[in-house]
Structure 1
Amino acid sequence: MNNRLSTTLRWLALPCLVAAGFTAWYVNREIASPFEQQAAEQDRALVGRGEYVARLSDCVACHSLPGQAPFAGGLEMATPLGAIHATNITPDRDTGIGAYSLADFDRAVRHGVAPGGRRLYPAMPYPSYAKLSDDDVRALYAFFMQGVQPVQQANIPSDIPWPLNMRWPIALWNGLFAADTPYAQQATEDPLWNRGAYIVQGPGHCGSCHTPRGLAFNEKALDESGKAFLAGALLDGWYAPSLRQDPNTGLGRWSEADMVQFLKTGRNQHAVVYGSMTEAFNNSTQFMSDDDLGAIARYLKSLPGDPARDGTPWQYQAVSAASELDKPGAHSYVTRCASCHGLQGQGQAEWIPPLAGASSMLAKENASAINITLNGSQRIVAAGVPDAYRMPALRQQMSDEEIAQVLSYVRSAWGNHGGAVDAKDVAKLREHTDPASSSPIVLHMR
């Protein structure tokens, strides 16, 4: 009996040892780079190209703090496991990336592996940056090494506790969920579509916010082959809406010209940037070329919506809030909201957005509607000029119940069908969020 048990255990141990050996090899293997043994190029044009790629990638938004040196790191980012801090990516050799070779830089940006094999947390959007072309990686490296001033500033350790802070499992996560090859041109599509797909999937990393995540915090899809790609997601107290052709919660009612205008100026007839998109606009999209903005619009216009998810298309129903004062929340709307958004919810041209038909008032997720009512909006800075109009924070003027009632009214008026808001949801966001800054925040790259 003992011999039989011993034999069984040996046979069971064999596959375990093989699996352990494979895991150890997979986790510790060196990621190949096409830039091995290649030296940095001294080329001003390449540095300029790299600066533009950095704008496309919005590197400055995470790796810089207002009023401090560009790219010196320090921004705290909350995750479900604990807080992490953006690192110093200036060319300082001691605390930044100044000692990185081009191959080291490539492995960090496209594969999330720092020199020495240390795995980066996927808060760094390398699952998207994996699609960067070799030329853009080379240009980006030239910019950071030659166009950015070195800053000696130590990095802040993460607050993620042991054993969750062990990084070797990230290698397995990468194998399951991260892309590992550059973007491949789709032969059936034209160059404009392909350029848009490249920016959206790669440097623009739009899916980091707009694609829902799975149980392992992975984006459920990385390109248009998955229906979940850019279908809308809850993130940091905001609901990033669908970028697909969903007429209610997405871009189904937007023309390509509407999309270009929104990304270039921060507003159009349908919406004004707010929430996390304000940072993306202030620091990235407004600096993109018109050709690239047109390419993004062409690509997004090609992504079909999902009627099963989005529901019956919204249709405007004209009614004045002043005629519905008997409804809960209507009086608050008339006294606090109508002077800007109008008694019929149609806003003020392109300056103050309509609430009738707004995606935040049609989506089942109510986080964005609550958050902007509680905390207001950051200032949009277009072409160096701060916006004169911003949503004020109402957390001091209105109770949780009052905010819930006025939002429930708006989300059911004028054909909106987002559903009622519970005061408990307002209280939760009130506790975990802060008012938006009224000061213009633009992060400089030089």
Structure 2
Amino acid sequence: MRIKKWLPTIIIAGVAGLVLAFALGQLLPTLRTTESGIVVDINDPKLINRGKYIARTADCVACHTTLNGEAYAGGLPMLTPLGAIYSTNITPDKRTGIGDYTFDDFNNAIKHGVRKDNNALYPAMPYPSYQIMPDKDVAAMYAYFMTEVKAVYQPNKDSELPPIFNWRWPLAYWQAIFAPKREFIAEASTVALTRGQYLVEGPGHCGSCHTERGIGFQELALSNAESNAFLGGAVIDGWRAKSLRGEYEGLSTWSTEELIDFFKTGRTDTTSAFGAMAEVVEHSTQYMTEEDLYAMSVYLKALSPTDGKPVYTPKKTDTTTQKLLDGVYDSRGAILYAEYCQICHRADGQGVPRIFPALAGNSAVFSKEADSVLQITLSGGRMPKTPHDRMAFTMPEFSHLSDADIAEVVNYIRNSWTNQASKIDVNDVVRMRHFLRKKPKTGTDIAPNLSINAASKGASHE
């Protein structure tokens, strides 16, 4: 009886609370926006060229271009546990793009995650990182997008999130909690380290992939000053984005020169970029100046190991190489490796410099999570195409192998030579196959000639 008596009051209070939460959710984005007072000369050639370079460092094209689609026209699906959301059209088309955005509209979207209509943007847009970019850099990007990018009429797609979860106003609360306003604070006194920190923490938004996320899908740290969880590695989009810190599974075995080479070409003598990182190299880092590549590399090498992660691993004697050379196949995994992998990656697991990556001593292979190894084994991949190497090599997919065989060969690779890793089972393979069936083909599946230089010829845009 008491419940019935109070039920109308409870309902009224609930509705009133929801209305109040909605009203506040509508107000919060307006508190994030700013008026810069900056007047941008979008016809200034120097400003446009600078904006093009900054857009490269921010890797805008990777998320806003679909497979074989028009550059920056949006529509790229991004999978979430609740459904796909789609990147938006950021060409200067006035009907479907950002052609009617003022500089302040553009700046508020880039740095604060607020659209022209004052609705919050999904955090798939890395505005928590872009927030530290100075207004003058965003102004240069604005000139580039408004003047040199080709206007494309392409309506934006609605998200596939279920009702309630696709509402925009609750995102304002996410922004208030997880993306508060912040500015760049240099941690070092040298010019190179400061520039490298800025590029990594800001436009490069490296933490978006390489930092673990919390229960609210927020990055656990946005800078090294917050926590050494920053850039400590994460699993995203079915790939293991490795730690970029000083532990063994991170960058302790990399030299500064190797990092520069990797950012510039997508490969070194022992490894190559694949998956999402191949897109970063192909569309962003290969175009960066030597000074910026050096700055990023020395900054990353200066990061300490993540708490609790070893800088070195226990010694292990390589018994794999000689067995393979002698034709001693003492497991199903060894047989499969000899049949499908050895011709490229060699008996010693060292591959061929700049052609076939090494599997022995490769942290992508023996990392705690086997997602990257499973995904590239099942779906294949290709190196990024750059002018620094004559050819970009492709790894074929081996999805025709049974789940049991995939598990066997992956476990063999992760624990052969000097590699030491936890074992996976058939269920891990099944889960990855299920994930790949839903995953759209993007990124390095895009035709190799879709680069900033190639696309700009005749179209005047990336």
State the TM-score, normalized to the length of structure 1: 0.90
| Mean Cα deviation higher: 340-349 or 236-245 | 340-349
C-alpha change, 1:24 and 1:391, in structure 2 (3 Å) is closer
Q: Aligned residue for 2:394?
A: 390
Matches within 5 A, 1:334-349: 334-349=338-353
Q: Aligned residue for 2:154?
A: 153
> What is the DSSP-based 3-state SS (H/G/I as helix, E as strand, rest coil) of the residue aligned with 1:329?
helix
C-alpha distance in structure 2 between counterparts of 1:361 and 1:42, whole Å: 49
Q: Aligned residue for 1:325?
A: 329
C-alpha distance in structure 1 between counterparts of 2:409 and 2:236, whole Å: 23
C-alpha displacement of 1:31: 2.9
The gaps in structure 1 that reach 5 residues or longer are 1-5
C-alpha distance in structure 1 between counterparts of 2:135 and 2:446, whole Å: 40
| Mean Cα deviation higher: 351-360 or 23-32 | 23-32
What is the number of equivalent residue pairs in this alignment? 435
C-alpha change, 1:364 and 1:280, in structure 2 (3 Å) is same
1:282 is aligned to 2:282: yes
Percent identity over paired residues: 40
1:400 is aligned to 2:400: no
> Alpha-carbon deviations, 1:54-89, whole Å to 9, x = none?
100111111112433221111111112221111111
C-alpha distance in structure 1 between counterparts of 2:316 and 2:381, whole Å: 26
8 Å Cα contact 2:265-2:389 kept in structure 1: no
| Mean Cα deviation higher: 385-394 or 156-165 | 385-394
C-alpha change, 1:117 and 1:34, in structure 2 (3 Å) is closer
> What is the DSSP-based 3-state SS (H/G/I as helix, E as strand, rest coil) of the residue aligned with 2:394?
coil
C-alpha displacement of 1:290: 0.7
Matches within 5 A, 1:39-438: 39-186=40-187, 188-225=188-225, 226-247=227-248, 249-306=249-306, 308-310=308-310, 312-313=312-313, 315=315, 317-319=317-319, 320=321, 321-322=323-324, 324-383=328-387, 387-396=391-400, 398-433=401-436, 437=445
8 Å Cα contact 2:29-2:119 kept in structure 1: no
> One-letter code of the match for 1:102?
F
8 Å Cα contact 2:64-2:76 kept in structure 1: yes
Q: Aligned residue for 2:3?
A: none
C-alpha distance in structure 1 between counterparts of 2:228 and 2:66, whole Å: 35
C-alpha distance in structure 2 between counterparts of 1:276 and 1:24, whole Å: 33
8 Å Cα contact 2:350-2:357 kept in structure 1: yes
8 Å Cα contact 1:362-1:418 kept in structure 2: yes
C-alpha change, 1:22 and 1:90, in structure 2 (3 Å) is closer
8 Å Cα contact 1:221-1:229 kept in structure 2: yes
RMSD (Å), alpha carbons: 2.7
> What is the DSSP-based 3-state SS (H/G/I as helix, E as strand, rest coil) of the residue aligned with 2:240?
strand
> What is the DSSP-based 3-state SS (H/G/I as helix, E as strand, rest coil) of the residue aligned with 1:433?
helix
C-alpha distance in structure 1 between counterparts of 2:55 and 2:371, whole Å: 30
C-alpha distance in structure 1 between counterparts of 2:250 and 2:39, whole Å: 44
> Alpha-carbon deviations, 1:301-348, whole Å to 9, x = none?
111113623474265633324255113311111121111111111111
> One-letter code of the match for 1:122?
P
8 Å Cα contact 2:240-2:371 kept in structure 1: yes
C-alpha distance in structure 1 between counterparts of 2:392 and 2:173, whole Å: 48
> What is the DSSP-based 3-state SS (H/G/I as helix, E as strand, rest coil) of the residue aligned with 1:29?
helix
C-alpha change, 1:417 and 1:129, in structure 2 (3 Å) is same
C-alpha displacement of 1:378: 2.5
C-alpha distance in structure 2 between counterparts of 1:133 and 1:253, whole Å: 34
State the TM-score, normalized to the length of structure 2: 0.87
> Alpha-carbon deviations, 1:330-370, whole Å to 9, x = none?
11111211111111111112321111111122211010011
8 Å Cα contact 2:33-2:114 kept in structure 1: no
C-alpha displacement of 1:432: 2.2
C-alpha distance in structure 1 between counterparts of 2:86 and 2:317, whole Å: 47
C-alpha change, 1:307 and 1:86, in structure 2 (3 Å) is closer
> What is the DSSP-based 3-state SS (H/G/I as helix, E as strand, rest coil) of the residue aligned with 1:117?
coil
> One-letter code of the match for 1:178?
A
8 Å Cα contact 1:314-1:415 kept in structure 2: no
> Alpha-carbon deviations, 1:100-153, whole Å to 9, x = none?
111111100000001121111011111111111122111011100111121122
C-alpha change, 1:192 and 1:37, in structure 2 (3 Å) is closer
C-alpha distance in structure 2 between counterparts of 1:27 and 1:364, whole Å: 40
8 Å Cα contact 2:256-2:301 kept in structure 1: yes
C-alpha displacement of 1:437: 4.3
C-alpha distance in structure 2 between counterparts of 1:58 and 1:128, whole Å: 13
The gaps in structure 2 that reach 5 residues or longer are 1-5
> Alpha-carbon deviations, 1:172-227, whole Å to 9, x = none?
211221252332333x4211001101111111111111101000000001111211
8 Å Cα contact 2:68-2:447 kept in structure 1: no
8 Å Cα contact 2:345-2:351 kept in structure 1: yes
